[in-house]
Amino acid sequence: MEYPSKLIEDAVNEVAKLPGIGKKTALRLVLHLIKENENRTLALTEALTKLRTQIKFCKTCFNISDDDECALCRSHRRDKSILCVVEESNDVMAIENTAQFLGVYHVLGGVISPINGIGPSDLKIDALLERIKKSVETKEVILALSPTMEGDTTAFYIHRKLKDLPIKVTSIARGVPVGGNLEYTDEITLGRSITGRVLFD
């Protein structure tokens, strides 16, 4: 596509580098910004610049934070004896939204994925082990990783590293989603929900 302006072309190319946004969507967004008030664009770019240059990661759990230590780690209301291991910061937000977990988190920053060249040393796994060894409080580690091959590999790796320590290692339950229909559940999930059945109470 030929653009009527170099400025448009540059902006479209930059926006189209974002995940899930192609050139057509990028053009639509860019033309939208042109039609709107200039302040809107400046507010957007300022928020993004500030975010990228000022964002910090919690020194304890590596979650995104405005300070050196995040609000969850600082809080006295959170149960420091239960540690929930997740891939990314958005997993923390998702679990916090359920209001079912009152412990603390540890953000790995990804999962082991040899195909993408990500090994254990690229993740915060060593920091996790050190954190657990240093703290006397930790009694349970919940592995809340994606039910994919990479997630399972990472969970297995962490479990092996932790198995000599006097702590309980658990994993989030896998099964048929609430509100889901048995008929439309894939075989592997349904199979796992049968082998992993629990007492009815």
* Interface pick for a copy of itself out of 59, 60, 62, 65 (rule CB under 8 A): 65
Q: Which is nearer to a copy of itself, 15 or 82 (CB)?
A: 15
Bridge pairing between strands 79-86 and 64-65: unpaired
User: Binding to a copy of itself (CB under 8 A): which residues in 96-155?
Assistant: 96-97
* Interface pick for a copy of itself out of 40, 74, 168, 174 (rule CB under 8 A): 40
CB neighbour class for 145 (10 Å; exposed up to 12, middle 13-18, buried from 19) = buried
Tell me the number of residues near a copy of itself by CB under 8 A: 58
Contact 64, 89 (CB under 8 A): yes
Bridge pairing between strands 79-86 and 140-143: parallel
Q: Which is nearer to a copy of itself, 34 or 194 (CB)?
A: 34
Contact 128, 106 (CB under 8 A): yes
User: Is 190 one of the binding residues for a copy of itself (CB under 8 A)?
Assistant: no
Minimum distance from CB of 156 to a copy of itself (Å)?
24
Q: Which region, left, alpha or beta, applies to residue 179 given φ > 0 means left and ψ of -120 to 50 means alpha? A: left
Q: Which is nearer to a copy of itself, 18 or 194 (CB)?
A: 18
User: Is 29 one of the binding residues for a copy of itself (CB under 8 A)?
Assistant: yes
Contact 1, 23 (CB under 8 A): yes
- In sequence order, the β-bridge partners of residue 171 are 143
Q: Which is nearer to a copy of itself, 39 or 195 (CB)?
A: 39
The rounded Cα 191 to chain-centroid distance in angstroms is 27
User: Is 50 one of the binding residues for a copy of itself (CB under 8 A)?
Assistant: yes
Task: Give me the residues that bind a copy of itself (CB under 8 A), please.
Answer: 1-8, 10-11, 13-15, 17-21, 25, 27-34, 38, 40-55, 63-66, 70-72, 88-90, 92-93, 96-97
